[in-house]
């Protein structure tokens, strides 16, 4: 269970809404956007001003810790990579200190 050691404690739970999503869970942020970058910017507006390298690091980290984020793009880093959250699923966006530059 060594993978548990690198999981950050604390953060914001986000649910990407679909037609069947029930709202009303206290402390959960509900969002209709599927782009991980848009989701992070909703939780932490200052994410929009991160450098490209800072954004890439944060997106990669959050995508790896959330199984409901689909990563598509170039594995060798030569093209654009996109991160899309599955509708109806929960994501954990870690505390800002874990993703800040």
HEC string for 42-84: HHCHHHHHCCHHHHHHHHHHHHHHCCCEEEEECCCCCCCEEEE
- For residues 70 and 85, what is the distance between their CA atoms, to the nearest angstrom? 6
100: closest CA among 52, 46, 63?
46
Looking at residue 10, its pLDDT comes to 83
The greatest distance separating any two alpha carbons of the chain, rounded to the nearest whole angstrom, comes to 42
Q: Per residue of the chain (101 residues), what is the pLDDT tens digit?
A: 455 566 677 899 999 998 888 888 899 999 999 999 999 999 999 999 999 999 999 999 999 999 999 999 866 666 788 999 999 999 999 999 988 86
Residue spans of the domains in the chain: they are 2-96
pTM of the model: 0.86
Residue position matching structure tokens 């959330």: 66
């Amino acid at each position: 269970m060594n993978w548990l050691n690198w999981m950050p404690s604390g953060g914001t739970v986000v649910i990407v809404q679909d037609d069947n999503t029930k709202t009303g869970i206290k402390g959960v942020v509900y969002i209709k956007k599927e782009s991980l970058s848009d989701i992070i910017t909703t939780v932490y507006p200052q994410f929009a001003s991160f450098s490209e390298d800072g954004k890439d690091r944060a997106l990669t980290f959050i995508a790896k810790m959330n199984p409901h984020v689909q990563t598509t793009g170039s594995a060798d880093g030569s093209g654009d990579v996109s991160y899309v959250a599955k509708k109806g699923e929960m994501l954990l966006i870690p505390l800002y200190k874990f993703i800040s530059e």
